[in-house]
Structure 1
Amino acid sequence: MRAAARWTQAHLRAHRPAAVLIVLATAGITISLLLATALFAYATDPWQRVFTQSSGAHVWIHTRAGAPAGSLAGLDEVRATSGPFRTVRSTASLQPGGARATLELRGTDRKPTTAAPRIVAGRWLDPAADAGTAKGIVLDSSVARAMWAKPGDSLVLSGFPAQLRVVGVADTAEVGFRAGESPGVAWVLPRTLAASTAGQDQRGRTIGLRLADPADTDYVVQRAVTRLGAEQITDVSTWRQARAEAEGDNQLLGRLLGGFGLGALLAAALAVGGAISTRIRGHLRDISILKAIGFTPGQVVRMFLALHLLFALLGVALGALVTQLLGGLVPGRIGEAMAVWRQLPGHAWLTLVISGGVVVFIGSATCLAAWRAGRVPPVPVARAAAATGARGPGLTRRALGLRVPPALVLGWRGAFHHPLRSSAAVARLAVPLLLITVALGAWTTLDRFSAHPENVGLPAALTARTDALGDRELRQLLRNQGDLTAYPGSEVQALVPGQTGTITLRGVGTDARPYPFAVVEGRAARGPDEAVAGQGLLDLLDARVGDWVRMTVAGRPYVLHIVGRTIETADSGRVVSTSLDTLRDGASGAGTPGALPSRPDFYHLVLHHGADPATVRNALTKASAGRLEVRQTPNPADQLSVVRAVAVGLIAVLILIGLAELATTVGAGVRDRSRDLLALRAVGLTPRQITAVIVSATAFVTLAAALAGTGLGVLASQWLINLQGSASGWGAGIAQRPAVPVLLLVVAVAVLIAATASALPAARAARRRLADSATDLL
């Protein structure tokens, strides 16, 4: 034991920088994996917690006012119901002169027991306190956040004679409010709802169904449509949609952290395994001596394993400690995720499992290399010296004949003289560089969303809508703004074939002035009955570009020809878009005039080059005297800005891993060239030229790894980002490769670091006095 301890101490003193780099890299990997786990829990658990505590409904069915929605409670698969509630659609504005939002008001005189809203601020409705002129309203938290509303605020609602006072804000497990897509949920007393003057087309019923088996969701929706009739159902939402919306960008961020954490773990394992193999080759004589004095092969293997498991344990402990102490202090969603994760019952054992998994994985990667140490014979076998100065390959001789500097020629030959060994070193160095390139690809794609939103399905920077202005007056107001182009649009919810869910059918632009969709496959819709669709809709219908698809809107059929696929970031890509003329023609052709409003629901505003969205928004609000609601189009880049900070942290971890592997490569190069020093001096090379040979050999290996890593990284980043885009429903085509100058900079910096790191060890080796002995040839 004493001999093993002394050998371990000597080994640590000789390789101190490499040991520190391995420990820091392992700590960074542990932090990445723990943060990824916390983000995954944060992405799903808040919604799951609300759903469980409120006995949430698995399906919400929205029908016309006269539909017998209550009959759905008799379905065999339904265990409990919430409602049915009488509903009224209304536009609410916060007073004085605040934000506006579309609400679905539900009339109820008592708090539901199934899908019960969880009050987070204020109180629930009270028939005694909310009587008279001070009529109360409880808002869903998602719409309350969008409107900046809180208990005590007043709302003016279209179709209601008096203002309503916000008495409470509640969390629900339903699909949340999204401006222009889904209305916010609000609850009022039945007598308050009865005072509305809204038309019949704004009235309806809503019922929530809690199922015995959540897997029966699609089947129950089909049975509901069959029982009530497709023409009676206006919208359907399910628990899967609500959960996916709640996960949102946190899940994407968690996947990014988890993917890079696992990739970095693989890179670290390769680096540790390569380091052990290289050190074994460099210490064959020492290992032979250990065996000669009585060490068994098992003891030698255990010494190497114990040393590198110690590095892994130190790194994992450091990473877990930093995550626990400082993770909650990180600003933004990462800090919030850590705070939520610590409150979960599985937090402690998940931390132990992840930390133990890192140690086991790195230990498994070192087993093979350590096993080779156990097979070293106790009597060293001398090998023939490498004939560096002897007759070389024809290519080397021709290069020297062309007066190429000998340092470069001999450095190239030294770098790739052992093809298998050189290929392994190139592969180990290429892995962290590949992952760095993928991180840069994610960064560049995010910049594309911010700088060129028109190329990723977001050509309109603003959306305008109003109920206070006539359409002709609104058109004139928009025409007076010379730095934008306005495209009228309307949206309806449609049932897909099979009647298992709803999609968004959107008409934007006209045949004379088509909307500039970001078409990535096929072509734009130009003729009647032509449309473009998002990837989520194509996946839902199992359709492709060129197919005809059928859908129903309040019982009226629409048959559209999908001529192109667009990048669609709204509604998980389950959107089919056509011109407003085609949308209206389809409604009137169904034999039911007035299926769509006579005026557009909104106007998408595409700004001219150089126009500032905030300035245009303020100008429109001022010109309309506050009667026009103008909102900026949500950009995923706004919610994913934390990806940049994550990318920086991941790149730092990967740089540590690369430096650890580079230390191994430099040590191997110096050791290999040390055997050739006598031959190099014999052919007339000066110590400075010998140093240049060693440095250039390391630089050539790094250059090959950098070219391979960045080249494969570009392909991998595009594939992974487009794969994530397809899985989220946005569709492939969003990936943006890093700029060529950035990739060249990565290659240049990698080679420069390698050359700098190898310069001092190479200079020391070149000035060393060596004897041509068996020790130098092992």
Structure 2
Amino acid sequence: MSALGKVVRSGVGRRRVQTLVIGLAAMMAVASSVLGTTLLAVSGAPFADAFAAQHGAHLSVQFDAGKVSAGQLSTSRDAKGVSAAAGPFRTATVTPGAGEAGPAWPMHVVGRPGPGRDVDEVDLLEGRWPTRPGEIVLSKASAVIPILDTKVDFPGLPGAPTLTVVGVARSVTGTADAWVVPAQMTALTAPGSGGYQMLYRFTDAATAARITAGGKAVTGSLPPGAAVGEQSWLTVKKTAERDTALYVPFLMAFGALGLVMSVLIVGNVVASAVGTGTRRIGILKAVGCTPAQVVRAYVGQALIPAGIGTGLGVLVGHLLAVPVLAEAGEVYGSSSLAVEPWVDVAVAGGALGLVAVTAWGSALRAGRMRTVDALAVGRNTSVRRGRWAARLSARLPLPPSAALGLARPCARPARALAMGAAVLFGAVAVTFTVGMGASLGEVMKARAHDAADVVVPAPRGAFGPGAPGPGERPPEVDQAAVAAAVESADGTELYYSATTLRATVSGLTGTVDVTAFTGDASWGGYTMVEGRWFDQPGEAMVPTPFLAATGTRIGDKVTLGGLAEPVTVRIVGEVLDPRKDGMQVFTDAGTLTGHTDAGTLTGHTDAGSLNTAETGSAPQGPPETSHHIAVAPGTDAAAYTDALNTDLAPLGVTAQTGGPDSGSDMVMTLNALSAMLTLMLVAVAALGVLNGVLLDTRERVRDIGVHKALGMTPRQTITMVLTSVAVTGLVAGVLGVALGVALHGWVMPAMGESVGLRLPDSVLAVYQVPELLPLAFGGLLIATLGALLPAGWAARARTATALRTE
């Protein structure tokens, strides 16, 4: 080993605390940066690969067959900007019966002669494409369970056709729930219904404005009102990237905090090593080391622990990325998602480069130092700096040991500033994590709508454990009797029922959940983003993703299909609700009266009656009706529930205390990641303080010996050392809380936007003064924890040994 290598190894071995601090800081920064950069890089990879392979449609448009002909639609493929087109294909919204294939929900069926090639090449996952009437291919994302050779019947259509599932497929842009041969569409289309579908690819489809321009071009020559709905590939892409994109702003924030802290700590450690090793630097130069070699020696002492920490950080980042990437790739069947090598190289190289540059800047002073001056100075301590602070603190009504400690930061302002910066970032992380946890809790409360004290949940129908077997009807519940029991129960103060059924919306494939309320449900925990709660039939509230997917806003109208007849509602409010991908509509039960079984929605008939022929509606799965109760003040919810269950037992339902489960795997993952990264940042901050106090204590060991000789007790010594970081910790904590609140105000809206949600003030304004005060003292706590070990060492130092130390 070269002489320079021995110097580096010796320096690393002597400064074990500093080595640990640099390694931990580098590991934390690299781990969060690897994970965040990977998710940012591959969040759209599964969708992008599938879209390119299947020549996905940039725009799919639904047309009213009563207003436009197939010949007119064929001419739209020649519109300006269209590079390829497929169609027109006949379409129909139909509802299968509950049978072998699972629940009966409305589905969007398209008649196509084959899977296509140039536009929206449907990926056949199992089986084959239908070749004759009587066969159907189901989408993998269909509500109907896609199992080969099962039968799907349509009892609500003339002739009650029954089709056999011959294949399972996937359209990258979700253009249909099922496909049949064109000849089959006649039997699946009720008189006076049905439509056409056209799929387009454009020469330029990179932005929403380009897609809008393309849509106007293809519909410009068609009759007004012919187009009844459209879907952009950008909307589907955003949905595909949503889950992984949620983590990116959060991880980037922690990565930035870690990198900045790493730079500050490395600079402080190297500068302190130079400052306390002045005589050693002089000796190195005296024995022949050049200034460049001295600089490289100190840079190497920082790069070794930083390199180890970087390697561990890359490993931790890979381990954390595995479950998130697996979930992202599962949607499109991609099993090759992994951390890209360039991410490892870029993050590791960037981190080590920052460490090297920072260490070089701090070590440059050692290279410029004259040999004679370094040998003559020895320990480079200042006896004059901070005297004014010492005189000022001596006048305060404090014990002498505390006064000495308060004055110490002024003697080493640069070191105190470095320790304060470490505490600052630790306080930022704690404040941000507390706020993020509170905000996610508010989102989960909005998701669960758990304001009710007692809930009578919907019975398990066609879903979940205990569901009826194929062909069996779910249990019927007399909802009118349930409502009467709730209303007459002693202790009921507020009450509403919520009936959920499914419907279609023009331009969207699949179905949306329509929740119809009987009674005032505005107190039920629904968080408004904008607009107002509906106050009359015909008005509705929808989540933000619904507005984005349909291209609507508050004040617009949408038409719900899949019922006995179309229902038009006007959107009056935007509600925060991440369930069902935001594809939900909330309205009054009166909105659907006359368009479906009104008795079902008002609680005066059996839930299963929606399937009966008397309703005149297309058959679909049974609605799910739940009842939500707020008990009167002073009423014991558990006793109320027991009494209510006595009345409900003959009806086949059971009440339970509290709202539905509001848990979420994603929220648990975010909370776990934030807690782990915050603990790492706090640990690094405390070690940064420990390093600074340890250096300061060793520098003034002779002064400590003098104080002990004059009568300072070990307890007073500990007080002096801890007080020396009190002001620094308190100021850094206050500033850290302010910056943490600002960081929360930037990251949380970005996280909401990444999943298509707008977050209201109730989710963002989660910090209260009683909570901020303890957080402000968090900086003091971090500083105190970091100073405890050096304080203990100073208290145990023998007076004679300290006095002999030079």
TM exceeds 0.5? yes
Q: Does 1:285 align with 2:279?
A: yes
Match of 1:518 in 2: 527
Corresponding position: 1:753 with 2:785? yes
Q: Is the CA contact 2:80–2:217 (under 8 Å) kept in the aligned structure 1?
A: no
Indicate the larger mover: 61-70 or 740-749.
740-749
Change (3 A) 1:341 1:217: same
> How far has the Cα of 1:372 moved from its partner?
3.0
Write the deviation string for residues 575-627 of structure 1: whole angstroms up to 9, x where unpaired: 99776778999xxxxxxxxxx999999778563367999xx9xx9999799xx
Question: In structure 2, what is the Cα distance between the partners aligned to 1:668 and 1:539?
Answer: 58
2:175 paired with 1:205? no
- Residue pair 1:457, 1:567 contacting (<8 A) in 2 also: no
CA 1:598–1:374 in 2, change beyond 3 Å: closer, same or farther?
same
- Distance between the aligned counterparts of 2:294 and 2:343, measured in 1? 34
Q: Which residue of 608, 629, 632 maps to 2:629?
A: 608
Indicate which of 74, 78, 84 corresponds to 1:80.
84
Question: Which residue is 1:357 aligned to?
Answer: 350
Alignment check: 8 A CA contact 2:46 2:329 kept: no
User: 2:122 matched to which residue of 1?
Assistant: 117
Q: Which amino acid aligns with 1:243?
A: K
How big is each residue's C-alpha offset from its partner over 1:701-733, in whole Å with a ceiling of 9 and x where there is no partner?
Answer: 344434432443234224421343256442233
Deviation at 1:105, TM superposition (A): 0.8
The alpha carbon displacement at 1:287 in A equals 2.2
1:708 to 698, 722, 735: 735
Distance 2:451 2:75 in 1: 42
- CA deviations on 1:217-252 (whole Å, 9 max, x unpaired) are 110112234333452222211110010111122111
Q: Compare 762-771 and 85-94 and name the one that shifted more.
A: 762-771
Counterparts in 2 of 1:218-257, with a 5 A limit? 218-229=212-223, 231-257=225-251
Instruction: Show the counterpart of 2:17.
Output: 17
For 1:149, the equivalent position in structure 2 comes to 146
Q: Deviations over 1:708-766 (max 9, x none)?
A: 32443234224421343256442233234499398489557635532433334333556
The equivalences for 1:667-746 within 5 A come to 667-674=694-701, 676-681=703-708, 683-698=710-725, 700-726=727-753, 728-733=755-760, 734-735=763-764, 736-737=766-767, 740=771, 743=775
Q: 1:106 aligns with which of 103, 110, 134?
A: 110
* Count of aligned positions: 723
- Please tell me whether the aligned partners of residues 92 and 102 of structure 1 are also in contact (alpha carbons under 8 angstroms): yes
Which stretch of the first structure deviates more once superposed, 504-513 or 274-283? 504-513
Deviation (angstroms), 1:342 = 8.7
Match of 1:368 among 361, 383, 387: 361
- Tell me how far 1:572 sits from its aligned partner: 8.0
Q: What is the distance in 2 between the residues matched to 1:752 and 1:559?
A: 61
* In structure 1, distance between residues paired with 2:171 and 2:190: 26
- 2: CA distance, partners of 1:583 / 1:375: 83
- State yes or no: 1:269 paired with 2:301: no
Q: Match of 2:355, as an amino acid?
A: I
Map 1:465-544 onto structure 2 (within 5 A). Answer: 476=480, 479=483, 482=486, 485-487=496-498, 493=505, 509=517, 517-520=526-529, 524-526=533-535
AA in 2 matched with 1:59: L
Equivalence for 2:299:
305
Quick one: structure 1 residues 174 and 752, their matched pair in 2 at CA, closer, same or farther if it must change by over 3 Å?
same
Percent identity among equivalent residues?
A: 22
Q: CA deviation at 1:491?
A: 7.1
The 1:278–1:527 alpha-carbon spacing in structure 2 relative to 1, beyond 3 Å, is farther
TM-aligned CA deviation for residue 682 of structure 1 = 5.8
Q: Which position in structure 2 is the counterpart of 1:589?
A: none
CA distance 1:766–1:101, shift in 2 (3 Å): farther
Give the SS at the match of 2:430: helix
Q: Paired residue for 1:591? A: none
DSSP-derived class of the 2:76 partner: helix
Are 1:7 and 2:12 matched, yes or no? no
> Which ranges in structure 2 are unaligned for 5 or more consecutive residues?
463-471, 488-494, 561-565, 595-615, 631-636, 654-658
Q: Which amino acid aligns with 2:364?
A: W
SS in 2 for 1:106: strand
Residues 509, 579 of structure 1: 8 Å contact kept: yes
Task: Confirm whether residue 333 of structure 1 aligns to residue 324 of structure 2.
Answer: yes
Tell me if structure 2 keeps the 8 A contact 1:59–1:209. Answer: yes
Q: Given residue 668 of structure 1, which amino acid in structure 2 is its aligned partner?
A: L
C-alpha distance in 2 between matches for 1:206 and 1:477:
45
What residue in structure 1 maps to residue 492 of structure 2? none
Distance 1:726 1:32, change over 3 A: closer
2:477–2:652 CA contact under 8 A, matched in 1: no
CA distance change for structure 1 residues 764 and 23 in 2, over 3 Å: closer, same or farther?
same
Q: How does 1:129-140 map to 2 (within 5 A)?
A: 135-140=134-139
Report the CA distance between 1:395 and its aligned residue.
Answer: 4.5
Q: Which residue of 2 aligns with 1:629?
A: none
DSSP-derived class of the 1:608 partner? strand
One-letter code of the match for 2:221?
R
Could you list the per-position Cα deviations for residues 619-676 of structure 1 after superposition, in whole angstroms to 9, with x for gaps in the alignment?
9999799xxxxxx999793444322332233234324422442332222331354353
Bigger mean CA offset, 701-710 vs 277-286:
701-710
- Specify whether residues 535 and 92 from structure 1 end up closer, same or farther in structure 2 by C-alpha distance, changes over 3 A only: closer
Picking from 421, 424, 435, the partner of 1:427 is 421
Counterpart selection for 1:127 from 122, 128, 131: 131
Judged with a 3 Å threshold, the aligned counterparts in structure 2 of structure 1 residues 175 and 245 are, in CA distance, closer, same or farther, namely: farther
Given that residues 723 and 732 in structure 1 are in contact (C-alpha distance below 8 angstroms), is that contact kept between their aligned partners in structure 2?
no
Instruction: Select the residue among 410, 421, 424 that pairs with 2:404.
Output: 410
Bigger CA drift: 478-487 or 260-269? 478-487
Flag the 1:560–1:125 CA change in 2: closer, same or farther, 3 A.
Answer: closer
Map of 2:396 onto structure 1: 398
- Matched residue, 1:167: 166
Q: Contact 1:26/1:268 (CA < 8 Å) preserved in 2? A: yes
Partner of 1:50: 50
What amino acid is aligned across from residue 348 of structure 1 in structure 2?
P
Change (3 A) 1:347 1:61: same
Q: Is the 8 A contact 1:389 1:679 kept in 2?
A: no
- What whole-Å deviation, never above 9, does each CA across 1:332-351 have from its counterpart, x for those lacking one? 43455699999469923333
Q: Report the 3-state secondary structure (helix = DSSP H, G, I; strand = E; otherwise coil) of the residue aligned with 1:210.
A: strand
Taking a change above 3 Å as real, the CA distance of residues 167 and 531 of structure 1, as seen in their structure-2 partners, is closer
Which residue among 172, 182, 190 is the counterpart of 2:182?
A: 190
Change (3 A) 1:342 1:83: closer
Separation of aligned partners in 2, 1:188 and 1:635: 40
SS of corresponding position for 1:101: coil
Cα distance in structure 1, aligned partners of 2:663 and 2:226: 35
Deviation at 1:48, TM superposition (A): 1.0
- CA apart distance, 1:399: 1.6
Distance 2:446 2:798 in 1: 54
* Contact 1:249-1:640 at 8 Å conserved across structures: no
Structure 1, unpaired ranges of 5+: 177-183, 586-595, 626-631
Q: Secondary structure at the match of 2:188?
A: coil
Distance in 1, Cα, partners of 2:236 & 2:486 = 40
> For residues 407 and 104 of structure 1, what CA distance do their matches in structure 2 show?
79
Cα offset for 1:477? 6.8
Q: Please tell me the residue identity of whatever aligns with 1:149.
A: P
Cα pair distance change 1:342/1:565, threshold 3 Å: closer
Q: What secondary structure, in the 3-state scheme, does the structure 2 residue paired with 1:398 have?
A: coil
